[in-house]
Structure 1
Amino acid sequence: MKINKFLVLLFTLFITSFSFSQGLLEEKNNFTHQDTLRGSITPEREWWDLTYYHLDIKVNPEEKTIIGKNTITYKVLQPYQVLQIDLQKPLTLTKVTQNDQELEIKHDGNAHFVTLKNQQNVGDINSVVAHYKGKPREAVRAPWDGGISWKKDKNGKHFIASSCQGLGASVWWPNKDHMYDEVDSMDISVTIPKELMNVSNGRLKSIVDNKNETITTNWHVANPINNYGVNINIGDYVNFSEVYKGEKGDLDMNYYVLKDNLDKAKEHFKDAPKMMKAFEHWFGPYPFYEDSFKLVEVPYLGMEHQSSVTYGNQYLKGYLGKDLSGTGWGLKFDFIIIHEAGHEWFANNITNVDIADMWIHESFTAYSESLFLDYYYGTQASADYVIGTRQSIQNDRPLIGKYNVNNEGSGDMYYKGANMLHTLRQLINNDEKWRQILRGLNSEFYHQTVTTQQIENYLAQESGLNLQGFFDQYLRTTKIPELQYAINGKKLTYKWNNAVKNFVIPIQIEVNGVSQWITPTLENQTLKLKTKNPKIVVDRDFYIKTKTL
């Protein structure tokens, strides 16, 4: 079908911004000391393993302030006496204590180095309490330029939410702000004005009336959680729920929406159980049954907060009512419900160690959009959609960023990454095997942080294919391989151009309507044809370019 030029422009703008971080908008080459402190596993981080957080805060909507503390419990892996806690300005780390003793803090920008008095012995389980206060950074354009969104609903009630991917969870609470170490479990206590409700991750354990003008909501997260996945959402909420009969039994699915939107949400959120059915089919059981699944309305577009997925797509199909693929298929589902919930498997279950490998989160999840369509509308619809998204790909820089400096790769990690995976599906050439590989990823790396190399190795091993050149091409360069071919009588000559040296993958073509595989290399290959000058069609499912010589 003909692509609407406005949609192309919208999609291009979307893909350069939907990375949830300004870091994707332009390449950064000059990294600072603060980048290293934020993005590397420093000596002050590596010696201790997170086991438990209790974040206990009071949110003051009128003043736009937070005051509270985080109890950080950890296991000692090796002897060391200095511990790094991260908290971003303008928030202030007022004191850190251990066993009720106040500790010395050396402040270095957003990193704070705490000298411990007690000997840290291998195997010990210890805790420190980090006290803080202040006005956290206000989100400029959440979720891409995040922080705390201090908004009001149309009735004048406070409507507040956190979003901090890329920017870091330390923008609003003190923690060990690096992806490699996920806390094993967590409690989140939030004190707010009593006419409001706070929704956070995990399950609601209690609401305490403080006998004044406030209440405290207490949430418990039973599973490991990455720092940016932790959230607060404060508003004039109402709740409705259902029980989904899933692969691991009954799954509680809860929905928190503004009061005025209850009726439309009950109809529109029917996409949520549909999502769960499709993704459990493709990826395996939802990874957080113990913590339930929630959709929570917020005053920005949405984010993949673990077991507390945030929603702001205005109760429209597509992306704010637009089809980002330009094919029509993108209007068959609510983009935010499907995409952000897909992150429960890729981002929250399987989490990158270093944000440079964020393609693991975004490529698989962007690809999940087409798999949702595949489940309900078939393989053709799925292919139409993912191929339609190629119009957005910029090929501005590689999908993998710079390591150890909190640097993300190109925004192409969404739909270039999705088309890379769609191409891999063709190479495997067995949809049930492909499904088992996707499910196997979520089983093999269940609740783990991973590197690109681990994902590459798993996909190569389970597929039985040599994929080194494949990943080098699509992840580490901006070059799209070009199939060059010429027909002379009954001879087809072909080769790869614009490809890395080890890029040797087969592709499927049709010769006069008959499908067959060829394996181009960087050198000319030939194929004898049955007829002269036949019609050659290259399978569109492979993300490549073609050129007839």
Structure 2
Amino acid sequence: MLWRAYFMATLPPTPFPLRLKTPKPRILDNFRGHFIMRNLVETAGLSLGLLGLTLTTPVYATDEQVPLAKRTEESGVALDSVQQAMELPHLALSLSVDPASESIAGIARYTVKATQPLKVVEFDLDPRFAINQIAVNGQPISGRNWRNDDGLLRITLPQQLAAGSSTIVSISYDGKPRVAPKAPWDGGFVWAKTKNGTPWIATAVQTNGCDLFWPCIDHPTKRVEWLDLAVSVPKPLVVASNGTLQEVTEKDGWSTYRWQAHWPQGYGVSLQIGPYELAQETYHSRFGNAYPIKFWYLPGDKKGAKMLIGQMRDFLDFFESTIGPYPFSDEKVGLAETPHLGMEHQTINAYGNGFKLSPEGYDWLMQHEFSHEWFANQLTDETIADMWLHEGYGTYMQPLYLRWKNGETAYRVALWDLRKKIVSKVPLAPKTPVSSAYYNDDKAGWGGDIYYKGAWILHTLREYIGDEAFFAGTTRLVYGRSDPKPGNFHWRVANTDDFEQVMEEASGQDLGWFVDAYFRQAALPELVSQRDGNILKLKWKSGSKEPFILPVEVQVGGRISTVEMAGGTGQIDLESPDAHVVIDPNTKLLRYDPAIAAWQKQQAAEKDTKAAEKN
């Protein structure tokens, strides 16, 4: 394809040497020449020796945590006018990762294109890193022309950059990156070891963002078009990362892995480093193309790796037949075994579930993380408030997969398990800005609702508008077109309003009342029922200003009837005052359930009692 040739030309050498505050010659030596671009090289047929080693629970490195700067702590902070005007056609990012000192050193060499005149450029970078030098177009600039006090790195250019023009900005930095307090939910580096003491390292930065280990614009709408990533590690460690592996070189006991990725999603750029072996095979898609499935696993886990690759074939068949083509077939389907549970890194999903099967016979974690190749990496939320588009859709793909695989009963059972976890204390997709720190706010419960409530809203919508409209709308949302094929679509940014629009177009119905009640209000709609002789009266109660008009199925004896709820009310003749009635017999409606509310209250009280007894 044409874009494959875009960066075939080589780049000039690094414009300045890497300078470290503390001499680290073995790191410095491996940085020489990392920014020389290589021609695209496919790595077909790569195979490593399969050794039998047994692993135990990973041993995590300990480090005194330095509090994050306020800006670094949050991901997806609203863009200011400077960052809005910056396009990033290319980034050559060179990193050296030293397990012995648990430190990294890097050079980020950006091509920055201005859409408006720029005198200043800005990047996000955790201020715990020491910045050694910044250069513009190969010329070092004075320290007076940049500052990074709070995690927003502001660089004053030697001369104003005109709209439509480009410049090269190089940033040299080093330090000890934040150790993840609770990977993958609270981000940073994970420094672990295998049973035999070999370093095992991973990054997971979703809630805090890419600026935890490289200079970036930490916002979902700002992607680098081309990333050339060179990572140096001590031999015999292996680096698994995004995109396609271009080459591996060795020098002075260190190996440098060069990866290239097209339009990587910010927090989806990741390092997985360990004594990996590689399992791989080629997948032949229903769309006529073929692409590799590659799994970097630890020695001793060959059997599990083969099992998971087999499941991946099944997952691909499901997703491609249900949603559309795998979005990154020109690169790979990638997985890497990690010392944390998992994360949806683009083309290199982190996997740490220990090859555990669910009772339904599949690895639920890998299926969920892989769903994010469609819902996070291909379709990216516009703001943190729209994060349910990632997690709600990703969660709903599991009941749908079980329906596809095992039938309707498996689908309903999986959904009911999710229903008990919905708390609905705050709006799921508020109109006001949401901080990424909200994800870990247990009191609000939003970090759970974006999964479980999001999935249940999608279930209710599908039942309401039907499969044809629901899946047509979903495909349009993900790809921006109704006829996606390999190579004819681009990654997309969307918000909750976009979701509403595509579903209205697909169904031919106004869904403003539906979206307002479920996404913009905190409490779930409540269905009030009252029997008056032979008549069953129904009324929806919702915090929304518009009437909630979702139809309600009612089973009377062996017959199911649909009660239309024009204006939010409806009724049905039961034909007998003694008739047995079941409302919503097939569990299609997401609504307030007093039984679940009472059970949740009981569970919370028991938890508080146990905590008090412990103290």
TM-score by length of 2: 0.78
The alpha-carbon deviation at position 523 of structure 1 amounts to 6.0
Find the partner of 1:184 among 217, 225, 232.
Answer: 225
Partner of 2:559: 514
Q: Can you list the C-alpha shifts for 1:341-383, whole angstroms capped at 9, x where unaligned?
A: 0000000000012122111100000001111111111233112
- Does residue 394 of the first structure (1) align with residue 423 of the second (2)? yes
Q: Is the 8 A contact 1:486 1:494 kept in 2?
A: yes
Q: Flag the 1:403–1:306 CA change in 2: closer, same or farther, 3 A.
A: same
The one-letter code matched in structure 1 to 2:377 is N
Q: Which moved more, 1:504-513 or 1:356-365?
A: 504-513
Q: Is the 8 A contact 1:271 1:337 kept in 2?
A: no
- Does residue 441 of the first structure (1) align with residue 477 of the second (2)? yes
Partner of 1:118: 159
Partner of 1:359: 388
Q: Can you list the C-alpha shifts for 1:409-435, whole angstroms capped at 9, x where unaligned?
A: 612110111011000011013x23333
Find the partner of 1:421 among 455, 458, 464.
Answer: 458
Q: Can you list the C-alpha shifts for 1:69-111, whole angstroms capped at 9, x where unaligned?
A: 1112232101121111111132123322111122310223111
Q: Is the 8 A contact 2:95 2:105 kept in 1?
A: yes
The DSSP-based 3-state class of the residue aligned with 1:116 is strand
Q: Flag the 1:404–1:81 CA change in 2: closer, same or farther, 3 A.
A: farther
Q: Is the 8 A contact 2:563 2:570 kept in 1?
A: no
| C-alpha separation in 2, matches of 1:112 and 1:61 | 27
Find the partner of 2:501 among 457, 467, 476.
Answer: 457
The alpha-carbon deviation at position 438 of structure 1 amounts to 2.2
Q: Is the 8 A contact 2:250 2:256 kept in 1?
A: yes
TM-score by length of 1: 0.87
| C-alpha separation in 2, matches of 1:526 and 1:464 | 26
- Does residue 202 of the first structure (1) align with residue 267 of the second (2)? no
| C-alpha separation in 2, matches of 1:468 and 1:533 | 38
Q: Which moved more, 1:484-493 or 1:77-86?
A: 484-493
The one-letter code matched in structure 2 to 1:346 is F
Partner of 1:541: 588
Partner of 2:603: none
Partner of 2:332: 292
Q: Which moved more, 1:132-141 or 1:266-275?
A: 266-275
| C-alpha separation in 2, matches of 1:346 and 1:182 | 16
The one-letter code matched in structure 2 to 1:428 is I
The alpha-carbon deviation at position 532 of structure 1 amounts to 4.1
Q: Flag the 1:403–1:238 CA change in 2: closer, same or farther, 3 A.
A: same
The one-letter code matched in structure 1 to 2:176 is K
Equivalent pairs counted in the alignment come to 504
- Does residue 403 of the first structure (1) align with residue 433 of the second (2)? yes
Q: Flag the 1:547–1:157 CA change in 2: closer, same or farther, 3 A.
A: closer
Q: Which moved more, 1:82-91 or 1:194-203?
A: 82-91
- Does residue 496 of the first structure (1) align with residue 540 of the second (2)? yes
The DSSP-based 3-state class of the residue aligned with 1:114 is strand
Q: Can you list the C-alpha shifts for 1:468-504, whole angstroms capped at 9, x where unaligned?
A: 1212222122211121112223322111124423122
Q: Is the 8 A contact 2:529 2:539 kept in 1?
A: yes
Task: Indicate the percent of aligned positions where both proteins have the same amino acid.
Answer: 31
| C-alpha separation in 2, matches of 1:302 and 1:394 | 24
The alpha-carbon deviation at position 34 of structure 1 amounts to 7.1
| C-alpha separation in 2, matches of 1:62 and 1:32 | 29
Which consecutive residues of structure 2, in runs of 5 or more, have no partner in the other structure? 1-68, 440-445, 482-489, 596-615
Q: Can you list the C-alpha shifts for 1:431-479, whole angstroms capped at 9, x where unaligned?
A: 2333332222222174012222112211222122221121222212221
Which consecutive residues of structure 1, in runs of 5 or more, have no partner in the other structure? 1-30, 319-327
Q: Flag the 1:33–1:219 CA change in 2: closer, same or farther, 3 A.
A: closer
Partner of 2:14: none
Q: Could you say which structure has the larger radius of gyration?
A: 2
The DSSP-based 3-state class of the residue aligned with 1:179 is coil
Partner of 1:236: 275
Counterparts of 1:326-345 in structure 2 under 5 Å?
A: 331-345=360-374
Q: Can you list the C-alpha shifts for 1:17-63, whole angstroms capped at 9, x where unaligned?
A: xxxxxxxxxxxxxx967779960111220111122221111111100
The alpha-carbon deviation at position 140 of structure 1 amounts to 1.5
Q: Is the 8 A contact 2:103 2:175 kept in 1?
A: yes
Q: Is the 8 A contact 1:40 1:406 kept in 2?
A: no
| C-alpha separation in 2, matches of 1:106 and 1:53 | 21
Partner of 1:18: none
Q: Which moved more, 1:283-292 or 1:403-412?
A: 403-412
| C-alpha separation in 1, matches of 2:75 and 2:531 | 57
The DSSP-based 3-state class of the residue aligned with 1:81 is strand
Find the partner of 2:205 among 164, 169, 188.
Answer: 164
Q: Is the 8 A contact 1:387 1:419 kept in 2?
A: no
Partner of 1:70: 108
Partner of 1:153: 194
| C-alpha separation in 1, matches of 2:535 and 2:421 | 36
| C-alpha separation in 1, matches of 2:532 and 2:404 | 43
Find the partner of 1:108 among 141, 149, 159.
Answer: 149
| C-alpha separation in 2, matches of 1:533 and 1:380 | 30
The alpha-carbon deviation at position 518 of structure 1 amounts to 1.8
